[in-house]
Chain A
Amino acid sequence: MSVIARVFEEAGLPTVVIALIKEHAEKVKPSRALFVPFPYGYPMGKPNDADFQHRVIGAALNLLRRSQGPVLEDFPDEAGPTEFYQASAVTSTEDAIKKDAANEVTGLRAFYERWIEDGNGRTAVGLSGIPQRRFRGMIRFLQDFSMGEETDMKERPQDVPLPQYVRYCVDDLKAFFFESRMAQRPQDSEPELQTWFWGDTAAGQLVAAIAKHMVDTGDEAMARVANGIAR
């Protein structure tokens, strides 16, 4: 981001950039940068906290008062979760291995619909083009794919290769599960949500199995996609 900020400045556009990694901002030297001590994914600090987000933006805009640069200032307050669990950090429960992800989808549907209603239509689901009502079919497709069987979905655009399309489906599945769970248990912390998905759900096991299958094929392009699915 700091690299792009420099290009804009060189083109005569004043910039203010939020920096998540101070060590990088010190090297790249964007013109005006506010270092924020938040985790990846949390550049404004706290979700659903407009006042806090305004404080971050305000601190960034204040850097415009400086007459020379580069400027790199620290935002004073910490925010955001301190843990982020990916698949390999979570132990699967026996229960999760026995369950069927398609039945989980059916069980979560009412919570997902509540999530959409409460969020005025906002959902991160939408990359695959498969409507949520057909997610049971998407699960079957992903299960077949993870077992190396020949399979496809009619929604896949012709110019999107199958492994890439699998990733879009996985992204939709993750969003569906997390959003449903957040509607069901709004107080759950981020590490609790991640532990649930990777440890307690059959969908989490399926996603990990897809990534493993992709790596096991030995195909380099497939392995790169796998790296964006689970690790």
Chain B
Amino acid sequence: MPRLDQLSEIQRQSTLYFPCLENDTAPWAPWTKELSNTKVALVSSAGLHLRNDRPFKGGDLTYRVIPSDANTSDVIDSHTSIGWDRTGIYRDLNLAFPMDRLRELVERNVIGSLAPDYYSFMGAQRDPRKIMEETSPQAAEAMHAQDVDLVLLVPV
């Protein structure tokens, strides 16, 4: 979900009428590697950042870098939307930012390695143009510079 029929009327309406971009086709970066030989980066839209980094503000279209070797106790959120239940990530940050799970996948040799840096944006933006045109291309460039092979994106 949220399955639309289980949301409150207000949330259902705001979800249905969210100005969402429509596309006819999808871009396609072919996947040619073995997972066990892959360097993975994690990207979130939960407004996460290191405890001592600057918090997000309303309409903030920038992103924060979170080193992949940070502890979950080093990461907090300042997402400006209260349209989602925080109690889940209070209990376990991995619920929205599965840092420990990716570390376990490396230990199990399912994936090869972790990118040095992860990234967090703040989602639920009404005008994502700057994210599309400026800040996410910058993040893509930074990931290329760290030889990232695969990006796992997790919303909130």
Q: Is the CB of A16 within 8 A of B151?
A: yes
Rounded to whole angstroms, the CA-CA distance of A178 and B90 in the bound complex is: 8
**B15 in contact with A21 (CB, 8 Å):** yes
Closest-CB distance, B108 to chain A (whole angstroms)? 9
Question: A153 at interface (Cβ–Cβ under 8 A)?
Answer: no
| Nearest-Cβ distance from residue A54 to partner chain B, whole angstroms | 6
A50: contacting residue among B15, B100, B123, B137, CB under 8 A = B100
Return A229 CB to nearest CB of chain B, in Å: 7
Q: How large is the interface on A (under 10, 10 to 19, 20 to 34, 35 or more residues)?
A: 35 or more
Contacts of A182 in B (CB 8 A): 87, 90-91
Residue ID in chain A nearest B27 by CB atoms: A9
CB B20 to nearest CB in A, in angstroms, measures 5
| A37-B6 Cα distance, complex, nearest whole Å | 11
Check A64/B1 contact, CB under 8 A, given A80-B88, A228-B80.
no
Min Cβ gap A121→B in Å is 4
Cα distance A183–B123 when bound, in Å? 30
The CA-CA distance from A119 to B73 in the complex, in Å, is 8
A24→B20 contact, CB < 8 A: yes
Is the CB of A140 closer than 8 A to any CB of chain B? no
Q: A11-B141, A37-B1 are in contact. Are A27 and B21 (CB under 8 A)?
A: yes
Q: Is B155 interfacial (CB 8 A cutoff)? A: yes
Of the candidates B26, B76, B121, the one whose C-beta lies within 8 Å of that of A4 is B121
Q: Which of A16, A29, A38, A53 contacts B25 (CB 8 A)?
A: A29
Given the complex, which residues of A lie within 8 Å of B55, measured CB to CB? 127, 168
Q: Tell whether, in the assembled complex, residue B144 and residue A13 are in contact, meaning their CB atoms are under 8 Å apart.
A: yes
- Residue in chain B with minimal CB distance to A36: B1
A-B contact pairs, 27 of them (CB 8 A): A1-B153, A1-B155, A3-B132, A3-B136, A4-B153, A7-B132, A8-B151, A9-B27, A14-B29, A15-B152, A16-B151, A21-B15, A31-B27, A31-B29, A39-B6, A41-B88, A47-B88, A48-B92, A50-B100, A53-B98, A61-B35, A64-B35, A80-B1, A124-B89, A178-B86, A228-B58, A229-B82
Chain B contacts for A167, CB-based, 8 A: 80
State whether B131 touches A60 (Cβ < 8 A). no
Shortest CB distance B44–A (Å) = 8
Assembled-state Cα–Cα distance A29/B24 (Å): 8
Nearest CB in chain B: distance from A217 CB, A = 16
Residues of chain B contacted by A14 (CB below 8 angstroms): 29-31, 149-151
Q: What does the 1/0 interface line of A39-53 toward B look like (CB < 8 Å)? A: 111111111101001
Given contacts A24-B20, A171-B78, whether A69 and B28 have CB atoms under 8 Å apart is yes
Q: Out of B90, B93, B128, which one reaches A175, CB within 8 Å?
A: B90
Asked whether A193 is an interface residue with its Cβ less than 8 Å from the other chain, the reply is: yes
Is B152 a contact of A1 with CB atoms below 8 Å? no
Contact residues of B between 13 and 41, Cβ < 8 Å to A: 15-16, 18, 20-31, 35
Give B68-99 interface residues, CB cut-off 8 Å to A: 71-73, 76-78, 80-96, 98
